[in-house]
Amino acid sequence: MDEGSFYSIDRLVEFGLSMAVATQMANSMNIGLQSMVTPGADNAMLPGEQPVWYAVLDGSATGPLSLAELSRLIAEKRVTKETYVWKPGMPNWRLAEDLPEVLRLVALAPPPVPEG
């Protein structure tokens, strides 16, 4: 067999080592991408799983609230950017204006109905 042939032992070992290195690099990149947090992007939720929110209304905690209920309160102007909100996993209450998930709901709320 010719030394320059693809099937020579040197070429096969070189090919095998190259494939092992490439596989390791791809796995490292995939692990890095999976653990990356993109600001403003929601993590994937399981089907049927709804985030649970709490809001401070009239001086006391109200909840649990689904996204639909929170959206309704935003549309009714009961939850504003100055309202404190919280969901499980957050260390402290935060203003609604500081949370991209809540700001997205504000952007989706319809404007006031015109009078007349």
94-95 β-sheet, strand order:
60-65, 53-57, 84-86, 94-95
Q: Among candidates 39, 54, 33, which has minimal Cα distance to 96?
A: 54
CATH of domain 53-108: 3.30.1490
For residue range 89-98, what is the model confidence (pLDDT) as tens digits?
A: 899 999 988 9
For residue range 61-114, what is the model confidence (pLDDT) as tens digits?
A: 998 998 889 988 988 889 888 899 999 989 999 998 898 888 888 777 777 778
Token pair belonging to 99? 């949370």
Q: Give the pTM.
A: 0.53
